[in-house]
């Protein structure tokens, strides 16, 4: 009875922290155990056998995001060696659809958390700014699976996108002005009006997109 009550309390606590229903938490627990081999924690190598990730051009960044302390809300930088089930839920929560019962302020907060997660994927050195080099790396990885696009072309696409970001965020720049990179506030401006819901999927976990922000 004590163990059952403890498990029930744990689920209630996780429901409160993550916004998942108890059924969703149980489904995610089964997936977590499958990934971890029934171990209490998951390490990066556990993601190596996920079929839907094998051909994803940014698989390394997706996996890294699960261990990023910023996303785990455990610090401003660094990577965790392993994550437990509650950490796993914390990451999955970024992918949760916006709840139709939310008011406008909650919707904007939820959207901001989703975009912060994406920003962290680009900002690989955790300095709060996406530099041209970091942006190039992501674009090159995204286009690496396309045999018709050479590396120089990918760099040109990244450079053009960065120039466009600079114009969106800074307006008309002076000839000697240098754009040092995309801050999170810039990132929010760039994504304004774009439906973030269609850009974030967790299909590689063999589940429907089903998780939330607070």
Domains in the chain, start-ordered, CATH in brackets? Answer: 10-101+195-206 (1.10.238.10)
Element (H, E) at 182: strand 182-183
Confidence (pLDDT) at 200: 65
Cβ atoms of residues 136 and 124 within 8 Å: no
pLDDT tens per residue, range 107-157: 888 889 999 999 999 999 999 999 888 888 888 887 776 777 777 887 788
The answer on pLDDT for 20 being more than 70 is yes
Both tokens of 112, joined, read 């901001």
How far apart, in whole angstroms, are the C-alpha atoms of residue 8 and residue 12? 6
Confidence (pLDDT) at 5: 60
Phi, psi of 210 (to 5 degrees): -150, 65
Whole-model pTM: value is 0.80
Confidence (pLDDT) at 88: 95
Confidence (pLDDT) at 213: 37
Confidence (pLDDT) at 52: 74
Q: Which residues contact 72 (CB under 8 A, 6 or more apart)?
A: 80, 83, 87, 90, 91
Q: Of 34-38, 46-50, 67-71, 160-164, where does mean pLDDT reach its minimum?
A: 160-164
How far apart, in whole angstroms, are the C-alpha atoms of residue 110 and residue 213? 5
The answer on pLDDT for 208 being more than 60 is no
How far apart, in whole angstroms, are the C-alpha atoms of residue 89 and residue 42? 12
């Amino acid at each position: 009875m004590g163990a059952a009550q403890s498990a029930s309390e744990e689920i209630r606590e996780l429901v409160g922290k993550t916004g998942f229903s108890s059924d969703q938490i149980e489904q995610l627990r089964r997936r977590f155990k499958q990934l971890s081999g029934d171990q209490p924690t998951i390490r990066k190598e556990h993601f190596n056998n996920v079929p839907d990730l094998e051909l994803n051009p940014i698989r390394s960044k997706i996996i890294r995001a699960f261990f990023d302390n910023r996303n785990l809300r455990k610090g401003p930088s660094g990577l965790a060696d392993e994550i437990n089930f509650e950490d796993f839920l914390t990451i999955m929560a970024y992918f949760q659809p916006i709840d139709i019962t939310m008011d406008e302020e909650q919707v904007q907060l939820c959207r901001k958390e989703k975009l912060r997660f994406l920003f962290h994927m680009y900002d690989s050195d955790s300095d709060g700014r996406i530099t041209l080099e970091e942006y190039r790396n992501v674009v090159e990885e995204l286009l690496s699976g396309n045999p018709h696009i050479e590396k120089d072309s990918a760099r040109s696409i990244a450079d053009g996108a960065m120039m466009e970001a600079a114009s969106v965020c800074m307006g008309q720049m002076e000839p000697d002005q240098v754009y040092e990179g995309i801050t999170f506030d810039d990132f929010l401006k760039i994504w304004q009006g774009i439906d973030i819901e269609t850009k974030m999927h967790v299909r590689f976990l063999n589940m429907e997109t089903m998780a939330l922000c607070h």
